Structure 1
Amino acid sequence: MNVLEEEKKPRLAGRFLEQLNSPLIYILMVAAAVSALLREYGDMMIILTVICLNSFIGVLQEGKAERALEALKKLSSPRALLKEQGRIMEVPAASLIPGDIVCLEAGRQVPADLLLKSAVNLKIEESALTGESVPVEKDTGKHNRAYMSTNVTYGRGEGMVTAIGMDTEIGKIAGMLKNTRQEKTPLQKRLADLGKILSVVSVILCVVLFLIAVLQRRNVPEMLITAISLAVAAVPEGLPAIVTMVLALSVSRMVRVNTIVKRLPSVETLGCVSVVCSDKTGTLTQNRMTVVKCFTEGRICRPEVLDPKKNSHFMRGFVLCNDGELTRGGKAKEAVRLGDPTELALLDMAAAHGIYRHELERSMPRRGEIPFESSRKMMTTFHSCQGSQISYTKGSPDEVLERCRFLLKEGRQMPLEQREKKKIRRVLELFSGEALRVLAVAMYPDADRTREQELTFVGLAGMADPVRPEARAAVEEFREAGVKTVMVTGDREDTAFAIARELGIAKKAEECMTGEELSGLSEEVLKKRLPQIRVFAHVAPEHKVRIVSAYRKAGEIVAMTGDGVNDAPSLKAADVGVAMGLNGTDVAKNASDLVLTDDNFATIAKAIALGRGIYENIKKSVLFLLSSNFGEIITMLAAIALGIPSPLKPSHILWINLITDSLPALALGVDPSGNRNYMKRPPRSREESLFAHGGLGCTVLYGLLIAFISTTAFLQLPIGQLLREGSPVTLRNLEGLMADRVLLGRCQTYAFTVLGISQLFHAVGMRDVETSVFRMKHFNNRLMLLAFFVGFSLQLLVTEIPYFIGIFGTCHLELSEWLMLTVLSAMPLFAHELLVLFER
């Protein structure tokens, strides 16, 4: 079949299992298995619920992204004009086989790789394959190949199918995607490292507790249950679900800035992107040739200042000597836009002044023509006009100027002197120096036929594929954010440099490198030159992959943008592949991590700003969970090492981790304050730890503080009783008092309550470690307010409702006890205020 193979999508079960491939999940599975062996079925069910929830959210989000991409695809399949036994019929392109004869005409897509048998003024736009914005002239000699998925912009021809589907040039590029390995994102690597660390910590804790149980001659099965409790405390079982949910919720924020996320982890990778390798055509530029400068009546001007009356011959010549089709759109019919991009650019220039070819030809019908030929580089048409006749010629400035004897100036025909000729050539050099594609127009008034000698020079039109207006601002924003913008294009070096200079990407020609130069460089030499290069021109698809790989080997995190099939391998090779949704090919979209629905380069800057904020929010969530869990570990480990009973039951830890921690951690993950001023900072390193920039100190400090106040709450009653009795406060006396199950139950209730509520206060302070809680805009994060009050209410539930008191082994607390425990629980917030004051 003449279709490109798509990557096989994993089935639902496979996707679900893929979500389970995480060290943190493995630890939870072991904990669930041990809980089942010890008949702690409630604990087992809670752990398994969290595991399933995490996988379900990941699968759900991937499905949503795929459905959004399907909506972007064209509903119609490509069709081809097949010539068989002298008859021409339209057939599905998928049915073509090698040897078929296919007819090509302007506006058609090339349905397969063809060997051209005939070509009449045939031009094919191959930017999707090569990246070059200017159509390529085709013939039956040297340029006798047409490639699948490219577009015919001018002329007509016939070709024999030589390759279909994956055997075509575009198919080979698509096949390169299978050889590109998908790399893990920095966050995935950090979480994987964290999972390994926590795995080791869990094993060490279990070994230490076993040794303590033997030395203290404790009940070994009881200590095994306690060991599970500590292992569960060491693993923030809500972390995978929280990270996945934060990324999933962030996807909807990405949609608001016109970005569809295909892979959840790529959201946070955006935040550490240090190099954006961007295709030029259709990404930094509009992929639409436009007249940007004109020279007529002896002066250079912008096309918008032309006067339809004063410059009538200039506009008429370019409009009438033209085979493009451009009509007005209206309520009854759609606008028609068909033909060579350069000819359409000339028609656009005239249309801006209300002049359309099909309307003008009613009063000036075409009576004859000499079609464009590569050898002449010109086209001439002959028109009748109110009793007289006129011939217009359009083409290469050098060829047209050689045939001119006169000059049109101030509406009069004057001899073309050498001085004027030199002036025209200087203007031509000026236009060419700006990488403009220049066409000249001349006329022969009162002609009796088409004339191409002794012409009257009328003017020059300089065309370019204009930059996107917002791209320049985006490049500057990237510079402020420490992100390098690198242009990678199939266009010529001079054209690429002109665009790069206009956008502020490059300042000197030495910052450009061609694909030919790149091929001749060794890896070592390329690594040395890479920091100085800002433009890669005239590159092939394999060059783009090498460029992305070179930056990644240099330690950069690379985002690659593009829309063509030629961009697909590099999109997949990059840390973040960004495809264009409107004009991008399906191959490019399938290879990417993100798809821009507005094809706007500036949207990438918004996405990176969001990505940076999202990572910081995830980091806050991770540090909050780890510091809270570290507090639980120290609380239990200290008590057991001292030989006193455990302050917490396994069900207490699971309740706190899965209920009290989850909502606050999620609220931190979606905190709006995560988007402030992040584009004024350099990107983070690929190797940066989650504990960088004070993260480790924050985790240890708050963990120790939570452990201290929880232990204080646990020992408060027995110490108070010993002091009242005048007995010494010793471990033996404490252990003796706690042999009373009623007292132990109340002590554990105190520790359980303080441990849970202190984490709620801790979450409020973690919103912004640099700002006082009294200066925070709390109503900007209503989820945090909800999390606090829901968490507090749930803690009330397990001490005040008899049913839950029975399940968790807690006891009823008086109002005075609640007030005392709440003040003690607020210590992390007091610490937060002291740290902010100290920083100031």
Structure 2
Amino acid sequence: MYNKEKDVILKELDTNLENGLVKEQVVERAKNGRNELTAAKPRSLFMKILDQLNEPMVYILIVASAVSAIMKEISDAVIIMIVIVLNAVVGLVQEDRAQKSLDALKKLSTPKTLVKRNGVLEEVHVEELVAGDIVHIEAGRYIPADLRLVEVANLKIDESILTGESVPVEKIDGIVSEENTALGDLKNMAFMSSYATYGRGIGVVTSIGMNTEIGKIAAMIDKAEQIKTPLQKRLEKLSKYLGIGALLICILIFGIAIVQGKNLMEMLLVSISLAVAIIPEGLPAVITVVLALGVQKMIKHNAIVKKLPAVETLGSVNVICSDKTGTITQNKMTVTKVYYNNNLKSVEELTEKDRLLVDGFMLCNDAGNEGNLVGDPTEIALLDMGSVLSLKKSSIDKNFPRIDEIPFDSDRKMMTTVNKYNGKDIVFTKGALDLVLKKTTHILLDDKKQPIENYLDEIHNNAANMSKEALRVLALAYKEKDGEEYESNLTFIGLVGMIDPAREEVKEAVEKCYSAGIRTVMITGDHKDTAFAIANEVGISQNIDQIMEGQTLANMQQEELNEIIDQYRVFARVQPEHKVMIVKALQSKGYVVSMTGDGVNDAPSLKAANIGVAMGITGSDVSKEAADMILTDDNFATIVKAVEEGRNIYNNIKKTILFLLSCNLGELFALFIAIILNWSIPLRPIHILWVNLVTDTLPALSLGVDPGTADVMTEKPRSQDESIFAEGGLIYLLLNGFFIGIITLIAFRYGLKDGNLTHGQTMAFLVLSISQLFHSMNNRNLKQSIFKTGISRNKFLIYSIVLGIVLQSAIVQIPIFNNIFSTTPLTFMDWIIVIGISLSIILVNEIGKALFIKREEK
């Protein structure tokens, strides 16, 4: 394709630049496949089952089942195998739910691209592209397929992902005639997954999906990567330590049993079962499900979290660095004032005499406001200004066609176009006032050019007045094309002032951040006065001395900024590269930083931050790729909501871990104490396995999705290095584990009063399981009473407890299960005692919480 004329290629692909493909062509060509890289073949159900069984603890269970069968304890062997199967099923269900959540997330975060179809420019998902589509390329957008470029305007593309060349390639739309040309030298081609860093262009799709250059690479390598969160890694380490500890304790128990002359085979089974019960082998899967469900919940709140580790980090954020435009404000820029011909007036006062100002701003403009809004909100506001004079972008472009341009970039902060305007080649330049004035020599007054020196003070005073009203000021200058550089010897035309009002919900969100110990920092390219007006309105800054300007920042070393960073709440007139300095300065103080961004140049700061947040509406594809989270509504309040959700998710994970470990320790204490005291074994292996199954599944998952507490955003952010057992967690699980073990033994001794071992074991079995079910309610809040947190708020937990008690009742009271589980039916009084003893776990925790609250009040 690179060695053919563009007209030939368009003809071969049966398409054209003016209209693109028609609907019928798109439908027909879509049959050739979607524009996506083929994913790795999903694992079969059989392989998934093998993965669930490929665990050391499962091997131990299988050995236990075999030993039971050899000892002719057939019921034990059967139940152990049932437990193995049920654990595998639960694991498969959890894995499937997590994968579905993540698949939905990927679907929502699919990038879009600009395509001309049926004569209309529209945004479509990149997967929907077909050969022959006419794609419009803008700086900051990824190249969605392999394209033959047919029109370029200073277009540069970063192809480092394919070629390793770090410098962006300047593109052309002519022929590359050399044969066997290297990929990096195909300057008239744009390749999938590279991205435009400068300028703009138009290309026709030549290859999609696995037929693209990046697709050929993808066919040779397996990109699949399972990312484990820091929390999951800590849990794996915890399980390892628990396993070693459990093994040592079980060896000790087995040794004591030998000394005491107990049945060795029975004690072998008890030891093996206890080892399995102590280790929360299902916990990593539960955590994955909780994180994935949390991610799904965040999607409903307009936050797409791309990576699960980001959920954990969100809970630790204590500084939110936010852009102003579109995040703190509404991103609905509106021109309210104009300065033209030495006259400052409202936009409603525009007349035909002001056409040069209006035409210039509309022509030096890449946005579109007819039908779907396309482009930067500032440029759309300039087009909307034309509606006062009933001017449309399409008609004005047709009447005054563009013949050349210098696109806007963040270094120059200007944009220049050359248009056929009233029979002349006119250069229009718009941009930041200070920079435009450096390029001007004259000012237009009453259709005559005057030296600008005499009017600089007046221009600056009018600009300052608009800035004090929180208006964003843009300048416009022009000249007749003269053979010199476009942006030189310009004539100043005038100014416009536009406002992007603060979102109503932002002030409340900032207040919530303050209560949560989170600092809000605003970063903007606007003038100091404009920045302060908005920051003051929403409560970010109360003093103009808390604002640092980009010029000061540019002359400062990183170490200097590190020392004084705490003094500032707003950074104005900042270049994108300064954001990295700000992030590093905050991190040097130990802050966990969230940074927002939308442009190509924001990518470094998004990656440098602990949480990079990209704008879903106005953000470039590059910023979205670099970010950890994407806001689908570009709203600051959504970041705060995501932080709140992150805190709740972490708290729920902590609740689940403490619950499972305290329950498992209860089983350990009960057996260990009984063996040390040379009592009969209070729990049979099948009892331990069954209790482990009942408590480690539904109650644990229910705690994982517990509704958030009202005070979660009144607490200080936790440290990223904080242990799961911080703030008394270790003491909590040890005391509760010990108490569960003690009441299990009390029930056992009560049941033995008539000399019936089965009766005693049944009582212990029930108290162990039911007390753990009741204990799940204690874990909803480790500090507050269950009556204050609301017993019925977590309906899933209530259902889990009820179901668990019903199952336990069936095992004890239905004769067929008595033989399987070695239990015996209980009397009404027995049940009263079981429930009473089991409820004591709530009573003890309520007393402990009351004492804690009383101590805190002091």
Q: TM-score, normalised by structure 1?
A: 0.70
Matches within 5 A, 1:168-179: none
Please tell me whether residue 816 in structure 1 is matched to residue 829 in structure 2. Answer: yes
What's the counterpart of residue 23 of structure 2?
A: none
Distance 1:706 1:550, change over 3 A: same
Deviation larger for 13-22 or 625-634: 13-22
The unaligned stretches of length 5 or more in structure 1 are 81-91, 97-101, 130-136, 445-454, 722-736, 738-742
What's the counterpart of residue 690 of structure 1?
A: 724
What's the counterpart of residue 672 of structure 2?
A: 637
Deviations 1:357-408 (A, max 9, x none): 469979xx96999988999979788669xxxx9x998768648975447459
What's the counterpart of residue 736 of structure 2?
A: 702
Deviations 1:503-553 (A, max 9, x none): 8489656586999889x86xx888767767876954569x95x98789778
Deviation at 1:597, TM superposition (A): 3.0
**Equivalent residue for 2:745, pick from 711, 717, 725:** 711
Structure 2 CA distance, aligned partners of 1:108 and 1:653?
58
Deviation larger for 829-838 or 265-274: 265-274
What's the counterpart of residue 307 of structure 1?
A: 348
Matches within 5 A, 1:313-324: 313-314=353-354, 317-319=357-359, 322-323=362-363, 324=365
Please tell me whether residue 346 in structure 1 is matched to residue 346 in structure 2. Answer: no
Deviation at 1:641, TM superposition (A): 1.4
Matches within 5 A, 1:162-173: none
**Letter in structure 1 aligned against 2:824:** C
**Letter in structure 2 aligned against 1:781:** N
Structure 1 CA distance, aligned partners of 2:620 and 2:443?
45
Deviations 1:256-295 (A, max 9, x none): 2123444445434322234446677876677887646533
Deviation at 1:696, TM superposition (A): 1.7
Distance 1:654 1:585, change over 3 A: farther
What's the counterpart of residue 7 of structure 2?
A: none
Matches within 5 A, 1:694-773: 694-718=728-752, 720=753, 737=755, 743-773=756-786
Please tell me whether residue 295 in structure 1 is matched to residue 295 in structure 2. Answer: no
Deviation larger for 207-216 or 366-375: 366-375
Matches within 5 A, 1:512-527: none
What's the counterpart of residue 668 of structure 1?
A: 703
Structure 1 CA distance, aligned partners of 2:293 and 2:393?
52
**Equivalent residue for 1:245, pick from 278, 289, 293:** 289
Structure 2 CA distance, aligned partners of 1:496 and 1:18?
58
Deviation larger for 105-114 or 249-258: 105-114
Please tell me whether residue 837 in structure 1 is matched to residue 856 in structure 2. Answer: no
**Letter in structure 1 aligned against 2:833:** M
Deviations 1:158-205 (A, max 9, x none): 99x9xxx9999x99xx9xxx9999975342243223212211221111
Partners of 1:609 and 1:675 within 8 A in 2: no
The unaligned stretches of length 5 or more in structure 2 are 3-34, 70-76, 118-127, 161-169, 174-186, 408-413, 481-489
Deviation at 1:785, TM superposition (A): 2.2
Distance 1:199 1:560, change over 3 A: farther
What's the counterpart of residue 620 of structure 1?
A: 655
**Letter in structure 2 aligned against 1:692:** A
Deviation at 1:354, TM superposition (A): 6.6
Partners of 1:527 and 1:554 within 8 A in 2: yes
Distance 1:604 1:418, change over 3 A: closer
What's the counterpart of residue 713 of structure 2?
A: 679
What's the counterpart of residue 838 of structure 2?
A: 825
**Letter in structure 2 aligned against 1:707:** G
Aligned-partner SS, 2:495: strand
Matches within 5 A, 1:161-200: 184-200=228-244
Partners of 1:125 and 1:150 within 8 A in 2: yes
Deviation at 1:626, TM superposition (A): 1.5
Deviation at 1:477, TM superposition (A): 4.0
Structure 1 CA distance, aligned partners of 2:143 and 2:284?
48
Aligned-partner SS, 2:792: helix
Deviation at 1:800, TM superposition (A): 0.7
Structure 2 CA distance, aligned partners of 1:20 and 1:469?
53
Deviation at 1:618, TM superposition (A): 2.0
**Equivalent residue for 1:233, pick from 272, 277, 280:** 277
Distance 1:138 1:262, change over 3 A: closer
Q: How many residues get paired?
A: 746
Aligned-partner SS, 1:630: helix
Partners of 2:430 and 2:476 within 8 A in 1: yes
Structure 1 CA distance, aligned partners of 2:751 and 2:111?
72
Distance 1:51 1:280, change over 3 A: farther
Please tell me whether residue 47 in structure 1 is matched to residue 88 in structure 2. Answer: no
**Letter in structure 2 aligned against 1:240:** P
Instruction: Name the Cα RMSD after superposition.
Output: 6.0
**Letter in structure 2 aligned against 1:317:** L
Deviations 1:639-691 (A, max 9, x none): 1111111111121112222124533333322222x232222222111121111
Distance 1:426 1:797, change over 3 A: same
**Letter in structure 1 aligned against 2:232:** Q
Structure 1 CA distance, aligned partners of 2:456 and 2:500?
28
Partners of 1:648 and 1:748 within 8 A in 2: yes
**Equivalent residue for 2:457, pick from 408, 411, 422:** 422
Distance 1:10 1:28, change over 3 A: farther
What's the counterpart of residue 450 of structure 1?
A: none
Structure 1 CA distance, aligned partners of 2:723 and 2:842?
25
Aligned-partner SS, 1:272: coil
Distance 1:694 1:392, change over 3 A: closer
Partners of 2:404 and 2:419 within 8 A in 1: yes
Matches within 5 A, 1:486-635: 504=540, 508=546, 538=575, 557-559=592-594, 561-563=596-598, 576-584=611-619, 593-635=628-670
Partners of 1:271 and 1:611 within 8 A in 2: yes
Partners of 1:294 and 1:300 within 8 A in 2: yes
Q: Kindly, what percent of the aligned residue pairs are identical?
A: 35
Partners of 2:361 and 2:383 within 8 A in 1: no
Structure 2 CA distance, aligned partners of 1:116 and 1:517?
41
Deviations 1:464-508 (A, max 9, x none): 88877766765554444334556789x799899889967848965
Structure 2 CA distance, aligned partners of 1:276 and 1:497?
16
Deviation at 1:255, TM superposition (A): 2.7
Please tell me whether residue 28 in structure 1 is matched to residue 72 in structure 2. Answer: no
**Letter in structure 2 aligned against 1:645:** S
What's the counterpart of residue 516 of structure 2?
A: 481
Structure 1 CA distance, aligned partners of 2:87 and 2:534?
50
Partners of 2:674 and 2:681 within 8 A in 1: yes
Partners of 1:16 and 1:59 within 8 A in 2: no
Aligned-partner SS, 1:13: coil
Aligned-partner SS, 2:348: coil
Structure 1 CA distance, aligned partners of 2:38 and 2:394?
52
Aligned-partner SS, 1:460: strand
Structure 2 CA distance, aligned partners of 1:418 and 1:511?
26
What's the counterpart of residue 650 of structure 1?
A: 685
Distance 1:752 1:125, change over 3 A: same
Distance 1:206 1:377, change over 3 A: closer
**Equivalent residue for 1:58, pick from 95, 104, 116:** 95
Partners of 2:437 and 2:492 within 8 A in 1: no
Structure 1 CA distance, aligned partners of 2:136 and 2:646?
48
What's the counterpart of residue 218 of structure 1?
A: 262
Aligned-partner SS, 1:307: helix
Structure 1 CA distance, aligned partners of 2:307 and 2:316?
16
**Letter in structure 2 aligned against 1:646:** I
What's the counterpart of residue 8 of structure 2?
A: none
Structure 2 CA distance, aligned partners of 1:789 and 1:312?
77
Partners of 1:561 and 1:577 within 8 A in 2: yes
What's the counterpart of residue 301 of structure 2?
A: 257
Structure 2 CA distance, aligned partners of 1:182 and 1:571?
22
**Letter in structure 2 aligned against 1:318:** V
